Amino acid sequence: MDVQHCGSSILISPAGELDEGAGEVLQRALDYVTMDERDLLVDLHAVATMDVDGLLHLLNLHRRAERMRLRVLVTGWQPQPQQCMATVAGIPGPRAGTGERYTLAGFRRLLEEKPQRARERSDFTDGWLPHP
């Protein structure tokens, strides 16, 4: 994984497989952020495969960067990582262009809202509605 600090931007370029082992490296990438840096670019062109753990680490990196007030852009989505995102989100279809259709922030919100919608549907079908 390559991490470069370029002016007001940080560029993270992982390569190979984004999986469980990537978490610590991704988190350390933000350890030296200064007040001068405003943007985080994650270039996934060299990431051929990603599993659910890798996706969760990427989402965690995004959440942490936003708390640091960094603008985040993830680019270079390859077919398998896009399919992983689609599968996790429950979007049907082979090679769905999930990485192209959703920004990572939008995808994160989609995942965060999914359990709430499922709970609301379950509460309604079970005949129980939440109290105001």
Kindly report, residue by residue over 50-59, the tens digit of the pLDDT. Answer: 988 898 888 8
- Name the nearest CA neighbour of 26 among 45, 6, 8, 43: 43
Q: For the chain, what is the radius of gyration of the CA atoms?
A: 17
The residue whose two tokens read 């399919």 is 83
Identify the pLDDT of residue 33: 87
SS3 annotation, the chain:
CEEEEECCEEEEECCEEECCCHHHHHHHCCCCCCCCCCEEEEECCCEEEECHHHHHHHHHHHHHHHHCCCEEEEECCCHHHHHHHHHHHCCCCCCCCHHHHCCHHHHHHHHHHHHHHHHHHHHHHCCCCCCC
- For 31-86, the pLDDT digits (tens) are 888 888 999 999 999 999 998 889 888 888 988 999 999 999 888 889 888 888 87
Half-sphere exposure of 43 (CA within 13 A, CB side): 12
Q: What's at 95, amino acid-wise?
A: R
Using CA atoms, how far apart are residues 45 and 112, in angstroms rounded to an integer?
26
pTM summary value: 0.73
- For 4-24, the pLDDT digits (tens) are 988 899 999 999 999 988 888
Identify the pLDDT of residue 32: 84
Identify the pLDDT of residue 37: 92
